[in-house]
């Protein structure tokens, strides 16, 4: 008589907080009442005490939320019971109480599930950024080594001569010197950076109420993401710089360099160059993410981009991860490289000053401005761009691969939008 897939409306039910739930046998068949085993799991009552939810079971089937509402202010209650084996429940006013519902009254189990899925999505989002950093940094490690030689050691030899010297003195593995530590630094940095950007951008969209971020919102979100990642990851970058510098080999690796800095200069020595780091990473993040997002948005709104999105929808699940990239592999690489080059060229002098600050000892420590003046006095304005060419050679493939792997991993891991 009563199907578990249909909604039942039961009148003349009185709810008692102490004695439980009572059904009136005048309006409900006794056979139906006897078949229900009510077991209260969670009860939600609003401030006016006029709504209560319970979880119960009927003949092995889980009943949906039980919604009770005061009737006429005389102590009576009108109760609607939703029975369903499907996801979601239908209430007495036709409202959907399922995973996609907007009703504020949810069971604890649903709330926990949503929180769990949110945490899982955050983890996957961070992993996508971390894997992107691991792959890109390993690929361009030789170029990173050349850049550090120019900045930290003040190398005067040409690029070809420097390559020959490293190969002759340290062998092929010399080009990947410090790569593991670099991954330890860049993996969390990129993970936090990518994730923070998506979070900040989505929050700005909520505040503005726009469907799509404006250019100023993109740049602001990118700057905030760069600052956030810098504050959390600068110590590892400082340690790596000290290890690569002359005499760093004698410190005994990551742990040895960390202990040496703490013992000789204190904990805050790990944050050497914090101010120029923030000053450089704010515009760097703004340009890097802003330029890529602007290029991506322009393409997706073009006739070619709209056609590609339409073709992707028609392809559905038959498409592999690379085919599901909104920009396609080649365009993702190209836009990532352009964004990286713009970001590096705009902020490179800050990078040079930051590296010099990290190399200073307490006895001869100078401020950021004084360090910048000293660099210019010793080598001219061009000294602020020392190593820019090998840096660009490193940034172009690094940024391109980072974005390609990041977008690819988001598809593979099924990352939901932030």
Residues recorded for the chain:
418
Can you give the pLDDT at residue 145? 81
211 close to 297: Cβ distance less than 8 angstroms: no
Which one of 75-84, 191-200, 275-284 scores highest in mean pLDDT?
A: 191-200
What does the pLDDT look like over 79-118, one tens digit per residue? 444 444 444 444 444 444 444 444 444 444 444 444 447 8
Residue 371 confidence class, pLDDT cut points 50, 70, 90: confident
Which one of 3-12, 88-97, 298-307 scores highest in mean pLDDT?
A: 298-307
Can you give the pLDDT at residue 249? 66
120-128: average pLDDT: 92
**Quick one: what percent of the chain has pLDDT higher than 90?**
26
149-156: average pLDDT: 68
Range of lowest pLDDT (6-10, 247-251, 298-302) = 6-10
Structure-model confidence comparison of residues 229 and 109, the more confident one: 229
- Taking the CA atoms of 274, 279, 284 and 289 in sequence, report the sign of the dihedral they define: positive
Can you give the pLDDT at residue 200? 95
Q: What is the mean pLDDT of the chain?
A: 74
Residue 41 confidence class, pLDDT cut points 50, 70, 90: very low
Two tokens, residue 88: 């979601």
pTM of the model: 0.61
Helix then strand then coil, in percent of the chain rounded to 5, is 65, 10, 25
Range of lowest pLDDT (70-79, 139-148, 150-159) = 70-79
Residue 370 confidence class, pLDDT cut points 50, 70, 90: confident
Can you give the pLDDT at residue 211? 84
CATH class of the domain at 267-385: mainly alpha
Give the DSSP H/E element, type plus range, for residue 238. Answer: helix 215-244
Structure-model confidence comparison of residues 74 and 130, the more confident one: 130
138-152: average pLDDT: 78
Structure-model confidence comparison of residues 126 and 385, the more confident one: 126
Q: Say whether pLDDT at 261 is over 50.
A: yes
DSSP assignment string, 240-267: HHHHHSTTGGGG-HHHHHHHHHHHHH-G
Can you give the pLDDT at residue 404? 95
Range of lowest pLDDT (120-124, 252-256, 261-265, 326-330) = 252-256
Structure-model confidence comparison of residues 255 and 113, the more confident one: 255
409-413: average pLDDT: 93
Q: Which pairing describes strands 61-71 and 57-58: parallel, antiparallel, or unpaired?
A: antiparallel
What does the pLDDT look like over 316-363, one tens digit per residue? 778 888 888 999 999 999 999 999 999 988 888 887 887 787 777 666
Q: What angle do CA 331, 334, 339 make, to 5 degrees?
A: 125
Domain ranges for the chain = 267-385
Q: What is the rounded CA–CA span in Å between residue 199 and residue 188?
A: 16
Which phi and psi (to 5°) does residue 12 adopt? 55, 55
Residue 153 confidence class, pLDDT cut points 50, 70, 90: low
229 close to 193: Cβ distance less than 8 angstroms: yes
């Amino acid at each position: 008589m009563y199907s578990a897939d249909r909604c039942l409306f039961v009148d003349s039910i009185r709810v008692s907080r102490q004695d439980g739930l009572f059904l009136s046998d005048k309006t409900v068949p006794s056979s139906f009442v006897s078949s229900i085993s009510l077991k209260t799991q969670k009860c939600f009552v609003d401030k006016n005490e006029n709504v209560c939810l319970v979880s119960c079971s009927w003949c092995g089937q889980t009943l949906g939320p039980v919604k009770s509402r005061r009737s006429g202010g005389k102590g009576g209650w009108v109760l609607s019971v939703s029975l369903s084996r499907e996801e979601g429940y239908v209430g007495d006013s036709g409202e959907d109480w399922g995973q996609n519902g907007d009703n504020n009254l949810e069971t604890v189990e649903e709330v926990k599930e949503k929180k769990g899925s949110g945490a899982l999505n955050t983890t996957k989002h961070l992993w996508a950024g971390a894997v992107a950093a691991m792959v890109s940094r390993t690929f361009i490690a030789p170029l990173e080594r050349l850049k550090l030689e120019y900045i930290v050691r003040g190398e005067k030899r040409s690029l070809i001569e420097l390559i020959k010297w490293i190969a002759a003195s340290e062998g092929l593995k010399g080009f990947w010197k410090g790569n593991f530590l670099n991954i330890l630094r860049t993996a969390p940095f990129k993970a936090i950076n990518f994730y923070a950007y998506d979070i900040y951008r989505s929050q700005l969209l909520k505040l503005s109420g726009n469907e799509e971020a404006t250019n100023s919102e993109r740049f602001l979100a990118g700057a905030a993401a760069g600052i956030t990642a810098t504050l959390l990851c600068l110590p590892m970058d400082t340690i790596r710089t000290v290890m690569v510098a002359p005499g760093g080999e004698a410190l005994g690796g990551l742990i040895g360099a960390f202990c040496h800095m703490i013992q000789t200069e204190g904990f805050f020595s790990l944050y050497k160059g914090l101010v120029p780091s923030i000053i450089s990473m704010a515009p760097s993040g703004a340009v890097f993410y802003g330029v890529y997002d602007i290029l991506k948005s322009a393409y997706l709104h073009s006739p070619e981009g709209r056609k590609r999105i339409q073709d992707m929808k028609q392809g559905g699940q038959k498409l592999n991860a690379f085919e599901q990239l909104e920009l396609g592999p080649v365009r993702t690489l190209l836009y990532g490289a352009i964004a990286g080059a713009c970001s590096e060229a705009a902020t490179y002098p800050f990078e040079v000053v930051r590296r010099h600050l990290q190399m200073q000892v307490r006895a001869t420590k100078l401020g950021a401005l004084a360090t910048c003046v000293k660099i210019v006095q010793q080598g001219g304005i061009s000294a602020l761009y020392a190593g820019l060419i090998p840096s660009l050679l490193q940034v172009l493939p690094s940024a391109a691969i980072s974005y390609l792997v990041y977008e690819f991993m988001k598809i593979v891991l099924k990352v939901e939008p932030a």
